[in-house]
Amino acid sequence: MRVFILLSFMFFALNVSAQDKTRNPVIWADVPDISMIRVGDTYYMSSTTMHMNPGVPIMKSENLIDWEMASYAYETLGNIDAFELNNGQNTYGRGSWASSLRYHNGTFYVSTFSNSSGMNYIFSTKDPNKTPWEMKSFRPMVHDHSLFFDDDGKVYMFSCGGKIGIRELKSDLSGIKEGTERILVENADAITGKERGLPAEGAQAFKVNGKYYVFMITWPRGGMRTVLLYRSDHIMGPYEGRVVLEDKGVAQGGFIDTPDGKWYGYFFRDFGAVGRIPYLVPMEWEDGWPVFGDDGIVPMTLNIEGEQPLIPQIVASDNFSRKKNEPDLLLVWQWNHNPNNDYWSVKERKGYLRLKTFRVDESFLNAKNTLTQRTFGPACTGEIAMDVSNMKDGDFAGLGLLQRKYGLVGVKMQDGKKYIFAGNAQDADRDHENYREIETIPLQAKKAYFKVEGNFEDRADIGFFYYSLDGKTWKPIGDTLKLRYDLLHFMGCRFALFNFATKETGGYVDFDYFKVGHELSH
């Protein structure tokens, strides 16, 4: 298996070098529901991260290929029980959904909505490299909306849930103007000529050369994810529409131009457990309509210069050492649900991340202060070193692959003794985690090393788990895990650093480092 993965990487690397081409997917990691703008020579992109905080990641690029983190729109959306993992509630698969990124009169705006709070949110800033942005929120919630600034100064929200709708916002963006909601297209799916499956949604609105364009995604019954586009000479219509892309399930997004006049469509593709991964599709104009790809086929190589490293820049290793003016956490990190900032630190022990227990939880998915990063393809590894000297009875700590059907490896303390353990929730259903512990090994040392791996090549979607007592000799532990993209979580599998208590609070563990790689062990 290791040889196969390495050959795949070599092929990609040689292909980019020899042909001076980059490749699709642009990022082989979970970056769904993307919205993109260009300001001068710099591109910005927002995405969905559901129940993770900080939320609505803002990424930037100079070439549409190599993306790095710039900021997040918010630290948290509030403290309701679902966001806090309190009273048996959670916001898995909800949180904040599809965002809309815009630039208007020197200000950056990004809007989103939350099924958990039932509200819309509009964030704004002059500097997209700072977190958080200023926030305004209001009801009623508008699903999968697109924020749109028109040339006459009016601001609108387009929406689509089978029907294309529009409503005007107040000038200060504090809410919707009463009586302005209209339906622009009654049945947006009709132009596919197929039986409706997933109704058209994911609206993204643009204006080019005086015409209004509204992109949507639909999924006809028996078909694939498909890109629909409607256009009009007037914002209130009438609109005419057509199917503009139907290949490989690449869909939901919009278009963007480069400083030298080239155009591209940006979309995502469902790709199994790693998540929904972004694609760029070359575009030409024909009679005022965009024409995507090569006779409608999404190319796998792109004539765009870029480095496109095997480890994307939106993930990173971390030694948890911080200089005086550096933020406590790198932007690549996100917490599962709202964190409690009183119970983690990178300052209490220099060069370590300390996670402290402060409440009793019954399971991994209910635990607070789990710190995560994206996994990535075609293969990835995550490794930690962990000091377990200060755990208390009933504590579980280590490294996991987070999705509904998660897998864990780490250390537990039981009856005053420590054990290396591995377990998973492979048998989870809609209502129960069904976690089972698979293997335990007595541990005498104060420090242990753990590694998880994900093989996403050709959607193999397999997770592997290892432990070491010296960080050099690794031994497999537990079972391999069949990774799945479960809609109850609605996001790609993630690396997860965790420490939670099941009996008493006050214990803690210190993570020495987190290291990412792209070579499997076997």
pLDDT one digit per residue (tens) for the chain, 522 residues: 444 444 444 444 434 443 358 999 999 999 999 999 999 999 999 999 999 999 999 999 999 999 999 999 999 999 999 999 999 999 999 999 999 999 999 999 999 999 999 999 999 999 999 999 999 999 999 999 999 999 999 999 999 999 999 999 999 999 999 999 999 999 999 999 999 999 999 999 999 999 999 999 999 999 999 999 999 999 999 999 999 999 999 999 999 999 999 999 999 999 999 999 999 999 999 999 999 999 899 999 999 999 999 999 999 999 999 999 999 999 999 999 999 999 999 999 999 999 999 999 999 999 999 999 999 999 999 999 999 999 999 999 999 999 999 999 999 999 999 999 999 999 999 999 999 999 999 999 999 999 999 999 999 999 999 999 999 999 999 999 999 999 999 999 999 999 999 999 999 999 999 999 999 997
Burial tier of 232 (Cβ tally within 10 Å: 0-12, 13-18, 19+): middle
- Per DSSP, what are the bridge partners of residue 429? none
Residues 6+ positions from 330 with CB-CB distance below 8 Å: 316, 318
Radius of gyration of the chain (CA): 23
Residues 6+ positions from 341 with CB-CB distance below 8 Å: none
- Cβ–Cβ contacts within 10 Å for residue 406, how many? 27
What is the Cα–Cα distance from 336 to 501, expressed in whole angstroms? 16
In the chain, ranges of CATH 2.115.10.20 domains = 2-302
Sign of the Cα torsion 220, 221, 223, 225 reads: positive
Is 274:377 a contact under the CB 8 Å cutoff?
yes
Q: Which of 104, 98, 99 is nearest to 39 (CA)?
A: 104
2-302: CATH architecture: 5 Propeller (2.115)
In the chain, ranges of CATH 2.60.120.200 domains = 334-517
Helices (H) and strands (E) in the chain, counts: 2, 38
- Per DSSP, what are the bridge partners of residue 482? 462
What is the Cα–Cα distance from 99 to 114, expressed in whole angstroms? 10
What is the Cα–Cα distance from 385 to 512, expressed in whole angstroms? 5
- The pTM is what? 0.95
Q: Calculate the alpha carbon distances from 63 to 42, 43, 101, 364 in Å.
A: 8, 8, 18, 39
334-517: CATH architecture: Sandwich (2.60)
Is 216:201 a contact under the CB 8 Å cutoff?
yes
